[in-house]
């Protein structure tokens, strides 16, 4: 060991959507925070990057939304969902004053977050890979051990260790955080960035094939294609043809447009993403946040938004503990309970949608929604995070929807149980 380990209040492993906001919020409250990442920023990652209004509201509350707007990312104020012959378009009510959504490149967004953590007073160390969590004799996490890009091993000690290190979390593995509510992933994703297209923000699905498009930085349109895993081998044999084939199949006019005018400006990014899961996210001296502790299919675009929301919840809990208002492990256990409760609706909806086929229940609801301007508005507000999905899908709410649009008795399908769909 080459140096005396410094001491921090909180050590955060991972500096993207969960880690940097957590570090920033704690540092702003005067806590001594270290955040480390094996990446060096600006850094891309294999993830599309749609941000819901409820996530943007967190950025706004932290004073970072105007900074994001100034990066030139275009605002989006209209959404289109198409599934088979069913089409629903509209946009949410303002959510905490946010009237638009964005799809910022991760190179831009993640750097902005890392900079904000540093400005708040957190110590940020890039190109540092964590190999281990350190424990005291009672099994309490007390620090980390890792390696710099030059191969130098270093240890850091802190009162609390947080894993914000994504789906393959080393912290989760070392503390033995078991997974629960695991649901196997169903799909794979290919995406890239195109010039020459002027499509709307849209998400279209037909016959277990899906694509979505969204404007992002540099006048480019992000286009993402999703299919079920059984199609992977065939798709991978000719990615250009597979990508084009999905759009041709789902929306032939846009397929023709892509062929005629679209120019792919960057290589395809591809991923067989991880299963849907929760992991136990609190224990003696440690916590997990972001994808390290809770992950779901990317198709509803909620990972970044949830990482923001849950980083703030965890920062509040850690502050209670560090300031002596509550025993720290109890405060953090409360964070994990609240995260699980508040995220269940999005988790269930995401898992249901990831089948790329509407269940009879979702088909009935969306058919009715497409016929009611008021419920369309409610639906998009739910999608944006401004209205709980549990309330949207509650039997009394759906019964009123079916009444309004005159759904015949046979089509009035209600949720199977609590926590549905
Ligand atoms: C194909 C795809 C598309 C997606 N699209 C969207 C979308 O449109 N909108 C949305 O909101 N979400 C989307 N997501 C989900 C989103 O990417 C994640 O939910 C989000 O990145 C989680 O943030 P995080 O900070 O928890 O983890 P990550 O972004 O994974 O960051 C973890 C960080 O930890 C670092 N790290 C890991 N291990 C170590 C270690 N041992 N030592 C040091 N550092 C370490 C990594 O370098 C990384 O920087 C998508 C995901 C995928 C796979």
Residue 365 in any domain: the answer is yes
Domain end point (choices 330, 349, 368): 349
User: Is 187's C-beta closer than 6 angstroms to any atom of ligand 1?
Assistant: no
- Which residue out of 17, 23, 271 has the highest number of ligand 1 atoms within 8 Å of its CB and is therefore the one to mutate? 17
Residue 417: pLDDT band with limits 50, 70, 90: low
80 inside domain: no
Cα 33 to Cα 21: distance, rounded to the nearest angstrom: 12
Q: Cα separation of 267 and 270, whole Å?
A: 10
The answer to the question of residue 320 being in a domain is yes
- Please say if the pLDDT value at position 232 is more than 50: yes
Pure H helices in 49-127: 53-61, 65-69, 106-120
Q: Is residue 118 located within the same domain as residue 33?
A: yes
Ligand 1 centroid–CA 228 distance in Å is 21
Per the confidence metrics, is the pTM higher than 0.85?
A: yes
Domain count, the chain: 3
Checking if the pLDDT of 419 tops 80, the result is no
- Residues facing residue 133 across a β-bridge: 144
153 plus 292 within the same structural domain? yes
In a domain, 311, yes or no: yes
Answer whether 299 contacts ligand 1 (Cβ < 6 A): no
Q: How confident is the model at residue 294 (pLDDT cuts 50, 70, 90)?
A: very high
301 and 159 in a common domain: yes
Strands 221-228 and 276-279, by their bridges, are: unpaired
Structural domain boundaries enclosing 381: 360-411
204 lies in the same domain as 334:
no
Residues 171 and 242 in one domain: no
pLDDT at 1: 41
| Domain end position, chosen among 295, 323, 349 | 349
State how far Cα 137 lies from the chain centre.
36
Residue 31 structure tokens = 């806590």
200 and 263 assigned to the same domain: yes
**13-61 residue pLDDT tens:** 999 999 999 999 999 999 999 999 999 999 999 999 999 999 999 999 9
CATH number, domain with residue 306: 3.50.50.60
Ligand 1: residue whose CA is nearest its atom 48: 14
Distance CA(9)–CA(23), nearest Å, equals 11
CATH number of the domain that 192 lies in? 3.30.9.100
Question: 375 with 239, same domain?
Answer: no
Phi/psi at 161 (5° precision)? -120, 130
For 184-252, list the strands marked E by DSSP. Answer: 187-195, 202-206, 209-215, 221-228
pLDDT, tens digit, 9 for 90 and up, residues 341-357: 999 999 999 999 999 99
Q: Is the CB of 14 under 6 A from ligand 1?
A: yes
Which phi and psi angles does 303 have, rounded to 5°?
Answer: -65, -45
Q: Would 76 be classed as within a structural domain? A: no
Report yes or no: 104 and 218 within 8 Å, Cβ to Cβ: no
């Amino acid at each position: 060991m080459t140096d005396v380990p410094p001491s921090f209040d909180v050590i955060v492993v991972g500096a993207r959507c969960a880690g940097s906001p957590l570090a920033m919020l704690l540092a702003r409250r005067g806590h001594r925070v270290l955040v480390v990442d094996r990446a060096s920023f600006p850094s891309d990652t294999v993830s599309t990057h749609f941000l819901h209004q409820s996530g943007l509201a967190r950025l706004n509350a932290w004073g970072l939304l105007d900074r994001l707007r100034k990066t030139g990312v275009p605002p989006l104020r209209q959404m289109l969902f198409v599934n088979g012959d069913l089409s629903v378009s509209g946009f949410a009510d303002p959510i905490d004053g946010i009237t638009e959504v964005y799809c910022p490149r991760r190179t831009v967004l993640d750097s902005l977050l890392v900079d904000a953590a540093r400005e708040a007073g957190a110590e940020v160390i890039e190109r540092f890979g964590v190999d281990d969590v350190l424990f005291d004799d009672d099994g309490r996490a007390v620090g980390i051990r890792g390696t710099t890009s030059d191969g130098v091993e270093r240890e850091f000690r802190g009162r609390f260790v947080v894993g914000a290190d994504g789906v393959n979390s080393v912290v989760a593995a070392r503390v033995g955080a078991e997974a629960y509510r695991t649901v196997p992933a169903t799909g794979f994703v290919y995406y890239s960035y195109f010039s020459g297209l002027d499509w709307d923000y849209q998400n279209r699905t037909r016959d277990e094939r899906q694509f979505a498009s969204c404007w992002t930085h540099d006048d480019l349109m992000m286009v993402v294609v999703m299919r079920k895993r059984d199609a992977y081998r065939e798709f991978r044999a000719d990615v250009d043809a597979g990508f084009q084939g999905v759009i041709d199949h789902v929306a032939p006019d846009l397929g023709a447009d892509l062929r005629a005018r679209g120019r792919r400006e960057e290589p395809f990014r591809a991923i067989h993403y991880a299963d849907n899961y929760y992991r136990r996210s609190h224990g003696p001296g440690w916590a997990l946040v972001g994808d390290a502790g809770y992950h779901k299919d990317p198709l509803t675009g909620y990972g970044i938004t949830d990482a923001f929301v849950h980083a703030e919840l965890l920062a509040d809990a850690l502050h209670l503990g560090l300031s002596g208002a509550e025993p720290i492990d109890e405060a953090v256990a409360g964070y994990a309970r609240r995260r699980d409760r508040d995220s269940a609706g999005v988790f269930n909806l995401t898992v249901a949608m990831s089948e790329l086929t509407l269940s009879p229940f979702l088909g009935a609801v969306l058919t009715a929604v497409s016929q009611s301007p008021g419920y369309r508005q409610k639906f998009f507000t739910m999608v944006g995070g401004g209205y709980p999905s549990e309330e949207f899908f509650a039997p009394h709410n759906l019964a009123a929807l079916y009444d309004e649009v005159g759904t015949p008795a046979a089509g009035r399908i209600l949720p199977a149980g609590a926590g549905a769909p």
